[in-house]
Amino acid sequence: MVCYNLSHAVWRTSSYSGQSGNCVEVAVVPAWRTSTYSGTNGSCVEVARNLPGVVAVRDSRDRGGPVLTFSPADWGAFTNRIRVGELG
């Protein structure tokens, strides 16, 4: 049996749950990947974009440390500003 760390999971009631109180909750676990904006010097940012309504960002060297969260719109605006060179 595999044990998963669900301490950072986001739980939501399944749309298949009934009105009778028989509810099933589903966990959405962050799928972390190294950002394409990370440098090659070991300063890496990991991003999880699979969470409902939020983009999570963390330092890959401190995976148990703080996590910043952004709305998808704010994250898109931020990465666009990097892409066009407004933030260096």
Residue 4 is predicted with a pLDDT of: 62
> Of 82, 83, 55, 80, which is closest to residue 69 (Cα–Cα)?
55
pLDDT single digits (tens) 41-51: 666 888 888 88
Residue 1 gets which letter from DSSP? -
pLDDT at 21: 65
How confident is the model over 52-76, as pLDDT tens digits?
788 989 888 888 888 889 999 998 9
**pTM of the complete model beyond 0.75:** no
- With residue 55 as reference, give the H or E element that holds it: strand 54-59
